[in-house]
Amino acid sequence: MFEVSERWKHAYPDAMVGMLVVRDVTNLTSHPELEKRKRALEAELRSRFAEPEDIKSVGAIKAYTAYYKRFEKTYHIVLQMKTLVVKQKPLPTVSGLVDVMFMAEMKNLLLTAGHDLATVVPPVTLDASAGTESYVKLNQEPQVAKAGGMMVVDREGILSAIVYGPDYRSRISAQTRDALYVVYAPDGITKGQVGGHLRDIKENILLFCPSARVEPARILSARGIEELEV
């Protein structure tokens, strides 16, 4: 189901992408225990970043900032974190499968895309863009990928690109039962960080849907594909 292209291996010898498949989920709009965890996470982050400028000094943020600078872009999670801790805007409630992803992003600062697995046409391939591929973003706007940028594709096209985000075709909806999570990890992010991030997603899904089936995580890199229990 998963592949790594030769173009990726050449372009990103020290980076990786984590993937997690979760099946048989009842995608609730909200769940009281998940909402409690959101409030606790908000309080933790507002305490951790009482001085908002401290966000930029976190190792994960530095790794993504360095990566995005290559494309003359800024890492948007910095702005999202400032909105959370400075403007006191709460974490959103969209659906369980979406909310757990955003919670993990804010906690661990690792960029993540979520997809409805039923819409994905295998193989799922980790690739680097030639700069000619186009897709429809989550906001339904057309986009051409940045040349050399990390992306994940299936047989139908781009699922997500690190610079511009996930596609509209494979978006998670209220009807989603099987999901694929993709965590982009540029050079400077460790396998342990990726594993911990995917574990947070798994544990929060099992909180609102204990019957969900979670497959072993996969770590895709220039060295191949490795399974990782989370």
Amino acid at 188: G
CB 60, CB 109: distance < 8 Å: yes
What pLDDT tens digit does each residue of the chain (230 aa) get? 999 999 999 999 999 999 999 999 999 999 999 999 999 999 999 999 999 889 989 999 999 999 999 999 999 999 999 999 999 999 999 999 999 999 999 999 999 999 999 999 999 999 999 999 999 999 999 999 999 999 999 999 999 999 999 999 999 999 999 999 999 999 999 999 999 999 999 999 999 999 999 999 999 999 999 999 99
- Spatial neighbors of 36 by CB under 8 A, at least 6 apart, are none
- 3 state DSSP class of 195: helix
Q: Tokens 């999570």 belong to which residue?
A: 181
| Domains recognised in the chain with CATH numbers | 2-29+95-228 (3.50.40.10)
Q: How many CB atoms lie within 10 A of CB 56?
A: 12
The C-alpha torsion from 184 through 11 and 144 to 219, rounded to 10°, is -30
